[in-house]
């Protein structure tokens, strides 16, 4: 367990921190629409904001 704790403590140096990203649930042609100016607009009810950072599991 001590080795795992040491590894976890060094994860920020091993894995670079990434900024939050938007993840698209499912891309279908029906999700693409045009706004009033004719610009493309993506509709996604399943989109979520996700931080791609290592997290410690709490048991």
Tens of each residue's pLDDT in the chain, 59 residues: 899 999 988 888 888 777 777 776 677 788 888 889 999 888 877 766 666 555 555 54
Domain membership flag for residue 7: yes
Domain membership flag for residue 58: no
Give the pTM: 0.34
Residue of 43, 39, 18, 15 lying closest to 29 (CA atoms): 43
Domain membership flag for residue 36: yes
Domain membership flag for residue 33: yes
Residue of 45, 24, 41, 22 lying closest to 32 (CA atoms): 41
d(CA 58, CA 52): 18
Q: How many domains does the chain have?
A: 1
Q: Which domain holds residue 10?
A: 2-50
């Amino acid at each position: 367990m001590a080795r795992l704790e040491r590894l976890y403590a060094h994860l920020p140096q091993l894995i670079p921190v990434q900024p939050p990203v938007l993840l698209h649930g499912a891309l279908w042609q029906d999700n693409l629409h045009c706004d009033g100016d004719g610009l493309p607009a993506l509709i996604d009810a399943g989109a979520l904001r996700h931080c791609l950072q290592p997290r410690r599991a709490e048991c």
